[in-house]
Structure 1
Amino acid sequence: MRLEGKVTIITGGSQGIGEATAKKLGEHGSKIVIADIDQETGMKTAKDLQSQGIETIFWKTDVSNEQDVQDLMHVTVEQFGGVDALVNNAAATIRKSVKDTSLAEWQKVINVNLTGAFLCSKYAIAEMEKRGGGAIVNMASWHAYRTITRFAAYAASKGGMTALTRQMSLDCGPLNIRVNAVCPSTVDTPMLYETFKSLPDPEDAFQQTLDYQPLGRIATGEDIANACLFLISDESNYISGHSLMVDGGTYNKVARPLMFD
């Protein structure tokens, strides 16, 4: 049990990468707090994990709302005694250029992805300090470094998360809190298929995306969860301020951009 006795908060933990990460960390001994704005799906996921013997609670949370985040930390400490790890996974996306993105759309993506990571980290760090240390994983994206057309707000938010990761690692190091990011590329999640639905030819977009993968497949949630497990566990106890590409090699294929617009 690599995380025996640990307590981990996973934002956006009700489905996709968050759900896979909750399951993976729980299987390795961590108590799990699923924080998500989707109460129905979040409660179902929590019950599924409980049925597998994983100590899990759900707390409805808008990560962009400071009071919600404070309440999340309070409930976690009340239920499990403290906070050892945080996975900032909650995300929003919109596929538009700067020209076509409204201010409200921009603010929603930035507020969930970047401000949410800031708020959850701010209040989790205070609790981790009481435990003598901890680990934070920010779910960034390859869009922080390589991107495709019409991902303005999302790419900006994920670039901000990698910069925040580097900065936090410096400030949190003396507190024995490590901060890293995971940068997935294409992952088999509900968010991926919602994005495809917005395109003129979703099936062609999916095939182009699949053909673009050096390993011949898109990532599973478990692929990303495995990276989170490593970065939270003691096996990475001298790794901090790093953004880990978990992209199957797609970062290296800049010579042939996707063309499904």
Structure 2
Amino acid sequence: MEIFDSHTHLNDEPFRGKEEIYLERAKNLGVTRAAVAGQDPEFNQRAVDLSEKFDNLYAIVGYCPDVAKDWNQEAADQLIEQLKKEKTVALGEIGLDYYWDESPREIQRKVFAEQLEIAHDLKMPVNIHTRDAFEDTYQILKESKVGEYGGILHNFNGNPEWMKKFLDLGLMLSYSGVVSFTKATDVHASAKVVPWDAMLIETDAPYLTPKPYRGKQNETGYVYYVAKAIAELRGVEIEEVAAHTNQNAKKIYGIK
């Protein structure tokens, strides 16, 4: 069994200098590959560095909504150079966050759209963050022709109706530890019916720790428990969830 963590922050402080230890722990749970997501210049560079250091890690680089206010031409130029690195597999995480509102919403929308244009030009898939902003996220993606280059809605927490709308744009949906939470009924409902060829799984570590470790720091290996929760929801073996999501991650990220 091989499991792919499609979105983790192994570049975050809790793991710094201990990445090899956490990767070994992940391997013991069948987690053999992971995509390390950037979000700002520092995290982007760390993601690239880790992808170059470890054979089974890949980089995602982008400007997340929190730092959209810092976006300028210099940032765009640097990002494009990082996107051309051999083991950079997607542009992200990018999108909209109306919960924290760290950047003005108008700026968030503008920077999101501009990064989608870069992805379109480079034919790179995008890794999308959206919180309390489904309507605007959907509209911007619809106008971007994202289906031409592909994308992932990371930590998808919508109901089946939103699931269908985003799938119709050509996106894949990635489920996190939230799918194991008892009260996450919308997530349960969509995870039960999302087509196998559109599903990914992730940790978003060190956040969103799944049961049975909820309340503790998350780590890449715990994507095993995300797969386990989905298997239980769908009434299948965990190996089936692992096989589909591993294949999908490699496909969207262009990994042979």
Structure 1 length-normalised TM: 0.40
Q: Which has the larger radius of gyration?
A: 1
Q: Normalising by structure 2, what TM-score?
A: 0.40
